[in-house]
Amino acid sequence: MGTRYYTRNGFTLIELSVVLVIIGLIVAGVVVGQSMVRSSQVQSIIIDESKYVEAAKQFREKYSYLPGDFPNATSYWGTDPNGCPNSYSHTTPLAQTCNGDGNGFIDSPGSGAGNSTQFFENTHAWQQLANAGFIEGAYSGGPGSGCWSQSVLGLNVPLSKLPNAGFQWYYTTSTGYDQSPYTQFSGSKEYTQYLLIGAPTTGQPCYELYNSVLTPSEALSVDKKVDDGMPTTGKWISTNGGYNCEANTSPLTYNAAGVNQASWYTPYFSSTTTSCALAAEVDW
């Protein structure tokens, strides 16, 4: 009986090297793909901000007033059955709306007039833009159930492509929240319209989308494309140093115009944490 020879099947070093290279390429591709998706989401902020501002301007061309500020809105879409101005706890999209005061801005609760006299124009604005066909979707028009002007993503404010982020109109006055010592956007100006880009807050004041959605480097990339690349100057500003978006975390000090001087010209913070929201100044 002849001798039998058995061969052992296995990977050679070359084969193992090839497999490891392939695995490495796959992992690298996944990481690069995730990075590209995130970059696209961040840059979509610029496109969407421009889109919403342009939609509001087109609305004004058609109706002679800005959305939400429109004093004859109920004659087009009916009156909100919850009453006007609304109390909170709007939980479903609604076509019926409330009239605005026609002052040429999209006012917001907390901007100085006191919540008992507000028209909730900043949430009605999205509802009326959708009713008129200038943006997609359907909105409730009123604040959410958490407080008297809670922003609820996808319900009374539009979603951003950036996860957990949305857009909200905000108008400052000399006594508004953005101009108080507890300011969230330290470069904000008095009597100015803004479009906020951030996540909803969970406590008072819950009318602002100022919770973090961007890292400082991401906020910088947006700011450099559309503005001066600085977090407290120009038309695009960020949440203040207390949120570790701006590098300067000095105590807030204000000049006569209510602008925080301590963090003027400070750069974005060198951090990889998600610690920034943005506010874009709107020129009507």
Task: Evaluate whether residue 24 is within a structural domain.
Answer: no
Residues in the chain: 284
pLDDT, tens digit, 9 for 90 and up, residues 160-206: 999 999 999 988 876 554 444 346 786 788 888 999 999 987 665 56
Task: Evaluate whether residue 172 is within a structural domain.
Answer: yes
Residue 160 in 3-state DSSP?
coil
pLDDT, tens digit, 9 for 90 and up, residues 75-112: 999 999 888 876 667 788 999 999 999 999 998 775 54
β-pair partners for 278: 197, 238
What is the Cα–Cα distance from 124 to 178, expressed in whole angstroms?
21
Task: Evaluate whether residue 269 is within a structural domain.
Answer: yes
Q: Residue 113's pLDDT is what?
A: 43
Task: Evaluate whether residue 34 is within a structural domain.
Answer: no
β-pair partners for 79: 97
Task: Evaluate whether residue 191 is within a structural domain.
Answer: yes
Task: Evaluate whether residue 168 is within a structural domain.
Answer: yes
Burial of 244 (0-12, 13-18, 19+ CB in 10 A): buried
Domain that holds residue 136: 39-82+94-282
Helices 13-63 and 121-131: angle between axes, nearest 10 degrees: 90
Q: Are 169 and 145 in contact (CB under 8 A)?
A: no
Owner of token pair 């602002």 = 208
Phi/psi-derived region of residue 102, left when phi > 0, alpha when psi is between -120 and 50, beta in every other case: left
Burial of 58 (0-12, 13-18, 19+ CB in 10 A): middle
- More confident site: 268 or 187: 268
Task: Evaluate whether residue 88 is within a structural domain.
Answer: no
Hey, what are 201's tokens?
């807050």
Residue 199 in 3-state DSSP?
strand
Task: Evaluate whether residue 26 is within a structural domain.
Answer: no
Q: What is the pTM of this model?
A: 0.81
DSSP state of 84: S
As for how many domains the chain has, the answer is 1
Hey, what are 11's tokens?
């990977």
